[in-house]
Structure 1
Amino acid sequence: MKKRENMLRVRFSEAEFEMLRVLSEKAGCSMSELVRDHLGKIRVRNKQADRERTMMLNRINANLNMIARWVNTHKSSASAVEVVSHLMVIERHIGELNT
Protein backbone atom coordinates (compact mmCIF):
# COMPACT_ATOMS: atom_id res chain seq x y z
CA MET A 1 0.00 0.00 0.00
CA LYS A 2 1.27 3.45 -0.87
CA LYS A 3 1.89 5.87 1.94
CA ARG A 4 -0.85 8.46 2.18
CA GLU A 5 0.76 11.85 2.44
CA ASN A 6 -2.04 14.16 1.29
CA MET A 7 -4.83 15.28 3.56
CA LEU A 8 -8.08 17.08 2.78
CA ARG A 9 -9.97 18.99 5.43
CA VAL A 10 -13.69 19.04 4.84
CA ARG A 11 -16.31 20.89 6.86
CA PHE A 12 -19.54 19.02 7.62
CA SER A 13 -22.77 20.07 9.29
CA GLU A 14 -23.68 18.04 12.36
CA ALA A 15 -26.22 16.05 10.31
CA GLU A 16 -23.75 15.33 7.51
CA PHE A 17 -21.05 14.25 9.95
CA GLU A 18 -23.48 11.98 11.78
CA MET A 19 -24.61 10.43 8.50
CA LEU A 20 -20.99 9.74 7.53
CA ARG A 21 -20.31 8.27 10.97
CA VAL A 22 -23.33 5.95 10.80
CA LEU A 23 -22.49 4.83 7.26
CA SER A 24 -18.90 4.06 8.22
CA GLU A 25 -20.03 2.08 11.28
CA LYS A 26 -22.44 0.05 9.13
CA ALA A 27 -19.62 -0.63 6.66
CA GLY A 28 -17.23 -1.57 9.45
CA CYS A 29 -14.60 0.95 8.47
CA SER A 30 -13.36 4.41 9.36
CA MET A 31 -14.92 7.51 7.84
CA SER A 32 -11.71 8.08 5.86
CA GLU A 33 -11.81 4.53 4.47
CA LEU A 34 -15.44 4.97 3.50
CA VAL A 35 -14.70 8.14 1.54
CA ARG A 36 -11.59 6.67 -0.14
CA ASP A 37 -13.39 3.45 -1.04
CA HIS A 38 -16.15 5.38 -2.81
CA LEU A 39 -13.98 7.77 -4.83
CA GLY A 40 -14.28 5.89 -8.10
CA LYS A 41 -17.78 4.59 -7.48
CA ILE A 42 -19.80 7.77 -7.43
CA ARG A 43 -21.09 9.92 -10.26
CA VAL A 44 -20.09 13.55 -9.87
CA ARG A 45 -22.48 15.96 -11.52
CA ASN A 46 -21.46 19.25 -13.07
CA LYS A 47 -23.83 21.75 -11.47
CA GLN A 48 -23.38 24.32 -14.26
CA ALA A 49 -24.21 21.69 -16.89
CA ASP A 50 -27.27 20.66 -14.85
CA ARG A 51 -28.47 24.28 -14.74
CA GLU A 52 -27.96 24.65 -18.50
CA ARG A 53 -29.78 21.37 -19.13
CA THR A 54 -32.69 22.53 -16.97
CA MET A 55 -32.89 25.85 -18.83
CA MET A 56 -32.88 23.99 -22.16
CA LEU A 57 -35.63 21.64 -20.97
CA ASN A 58 -37.68 24.64 -19.85
CA ARG A 59 -37.35 26.17 -23.33
CA ILE A 60 -38.32 22.87 -24.93
CA ASN A 61 -41.32 22.62 -22.63
CA ALA A 62 -42.38 26.14 -23.61
CA ASN A 63 -42.08 25.21 -27.30
CA LEU A 64 -44.18 22.09 -26.79
CA ASN A 65 -46.84 24.13 -25.01
CA MET A 66 -46.94 26.66 -27.85
CA ILE A 67 -47.28 23.88 -30.43
CA ALA A 68 -50.06 22.19 -28.45
CA ARG A 69 -51.87 25.52 -28.03
CA TRP A 70 -51.55 26.27 -31.77
CA VAL A 71 -52.82 22.81 -32.77
CA ASN A 72 -55.79 23.08 -30.38
CA THR A 73 -56.64 26.58 -31.63
CA HIS A 74 -56.35 25.75 -35.33
CA LYS A 75 -57.60 22.17 -35.40
CA SER A 76 -59.20 22.47 -38.82
CA SER A 77 -56.25 24.22 -40.45
CA ALA A 78 -53.40 22.58 -38.54
CA SER A 79 -50.63 21.89 -41.02
CA ALA A 80 -48.97 18.59 -40.29
CA VAL A 81 -45.83 19.84 -42.02
CA GLU A 82 -45.55 22.83 -39.67
CA VAL A 83 -46.17 20.74 -36.57
CA VAL A 84 -43.64 18.11 -37.64
CA SER A 85 -41.00 20.78 -38.40
CA HIS A 86 -41.43 22.26 -34.93
CA LEU A 87 -41.20 18.82 -33.37
CA MET A 88 -37.99 18.12 -35.32
CA VAL A 89 -36.44 21.28 -33.85
CA ILE A 90 -37.43 20.13 -30.38
CA GLU A 91 -36.00 16.68 -31.05
CA ARG A 92 -32.70 18.28 -32.12
CA HIS A 93 -32.56 20.30 -28.89
CA ILE A 94 -33.22 17.21 -26.81
CA GLY A 95 -30.38 15.45 -28.67
CA GLU A 96 -28.07 18.32 -27.74
CA LEU A 97 -28.81 17.67 -24.07
CA ASN A 98 -27.30 14.21 -24.34
CA THR A 99 -23.94 15.44 -25.62
Structure 2
Amino acid sequence: MRTVVSWTTMITACGLSGDVKDALDLFLVMVHMGMKPNHITFLAVLQACAYGGLLKRGLECFNVMTKKYGITPGIDHYSCMVDILGRKGQLSEAFKND
Protein backbone atom coordinates (compact mmCIF):
# COMPACT_ATOMS: atom_id res chain seq x y z
CA MET A 1 0.00 0.00 0.00
CA ARG A 2 1.32 3.43 -0.92
CA THR A 3 1.42 5.88 1.96
CA VAL A 4 2.89 9.32 2.49
CA VAL A 5 5.84 7.57 4.15
CA SER A 6 6.56 5.33 1.16
CA TRP A 7 6.24 8.23 -1.29
CA THR A 8 8.49 10.42 0.85
CA THR A 9 11.05 7.63 1.10
CA MET A 10 11.19 7.27 -2.68
CA ILE A 11 11.45 11.05 -3.16
CA THR A 12 14.26 11.23 -0.61
CA ALA A 13 16.16 8.33 -2.18
CA CYS A 14 15.98 9.88 -5.64
CA GLY A 15 17.00 13.30 -4.40
CA LEU A 16 19.96 12.02 -2.39
CA SER A 17 21.20 9.89 -5.28
CA GLY A 18 21.17 12.90 -7.61
CA ASP A 19 18.04 11.95 -9.53
CA VAL A 20 16.44 15.32 -8.87
CA LYS A 21 14.07 15.16 -11.84
CA ASP A 22 12.80 11.75 -10.71
CA ALA A 23 12.33 13.04 -7.17
CA LEU A 24 10.24 15.98 -8.35
CA ASP A 25 8.31 13.80 -10.80
CA LEU A 26 7.45 11.39 -7.97
CA PHE A 27 6.22 14.31 -5.90
CA LEU A 28 3.91 15.42 -8.72
CA VAL A 29 2.58 11.88 -9.20
CA MET A 30 1.98 11.61 -5.46
CA VAL A 31 -0.03 14.82 -5.42
CA HIS A 32 -1.97 13.92 -8.57
CA MET A 33 -2.94 10.61 -6.97
CA GLY A 34 -4.56 12.54 -4.13
CA MET A 35 -1.91 11.85 -1.51
CA LYS A 36 -1.38 14.78 0.86
CA PRO A 37 2.30 15.58 1.41
CA ASN A 38 3.48 16.33 4.94
CA HIS A 39 6.30 18.47 6.32
CA ILE A 40 8.85 15.68 5.79
CA THR A 41 7.77 15.23 2.17
CA PHE A 42 8.38 18.91 1.55
CA LEU A 43 11.75 18.67 3.25
CA ALA A 44 12.71 15.89 0.81
CA VAL A 45 11.49 17.97 -2.14
CA LEU A 46 13.37 21.07 -0.97
CA GLN A 47 16.54 19.03 -0.45
CA ALA A 48 16.23 17.70 -4.00
CA CYS A 49 15.82 21.27 -5.27
CA ALA A 50 18.93 22.28 -3.33
CA TYR A 51 20.99 19.42 -4.76
CA GLY A 52 19.77 20.27 -8.24
CA GLY A 53 20.30 24.01 -7.86
CA LEU A 54 16.63 24.63 -8.67
CA LEU A 55 15.91 27.99 -7.07
CA LYS A 56 12.63 28.75 -8.83
CA ARG A 57 11.25 25.26 -8.21
CA GLY A 58 12.35 25.39 -4.57
CA LEU A 59 10.57 28.69 -4.03
CA GLU A 60 7.44 27.33 -5.70
CA CYS A 61 7.44 24.24 -3.47
CA PHE A 62 8.03 26.34 -0.36
CA ASN A 63 5.06 28.54 -1.27
CA VAL A 64 2.82 25.55 -2.04
CA MET A 65 3.78 24.00 1.28
CA THR A 66 2.66 27.05 3.22
CA LYS A 67 -0.22 28.39 1.13
CA LYS A 68 -1.89 25.27 -0.25
CA TYR A 69 -1.15 22.73 2.46
CA GLY A 70 -0.93 25.06 5.46
CA ILE A 71 2.33 23.55 6.66
CA THR A 72 4.33 25.88 8.87
CA PRO A 73 7.98 25.81 7.80
CA GLY A 74 10.45 24.55 10.35
CA ILE A 75 14.13 25.26 10.75
CA ASP A 76 14.93 22.41 8.32
CA HIS A 77 12.76 23.95 5.59
CA TYR A 78 14.37 27.34 6.07
CA SER A 79 17.79 25.72 6.06
CA CYS A 80 17.04 24.15 2.68
CA MET A 81 15.92 27.51 1.31
CA VAL A 82 19.16 29.13 2.52
CA ASP A 83 21.07 26.28 0.87
CA ILE A 84 19.20 26.79 -2.41
CA LEU A 85 19.77 30.55 -2.35
CA GLY A 86 23.43 30.11 -1.45
CA ARG A 87 24.06 27.67 -4.29
CA LYS A 88 22.63 30.22 -6.72
CA GLY A 89 24.72 33.09 -5.32
CA GLN A 90 21.69 34.80 -3.81
CA LEU A 91 22.40 34.30 -0.14
CA SER A 92 21.57 37.96 0.56
CA GLU A 93 17.94 37.09 -0.31
CA ALA A 94 17.85 34.82 2.73
CA PHE A 95 18.31 37.83 4.98
CA LYS A 96 15.44 39.85 3.51
CA ASN A 97 12.09 40.01 5.26
CA ASP A 98 8.77 39.71 3.45
- Return the index of the structure with the highest Cα Rg: 1
Q: Establish whether TM, by shorter chain, passes 0.5.
A: no
Larger relative contact order, structure 1 or 2 (CA cutoff 8 Å, min sep 6): 2
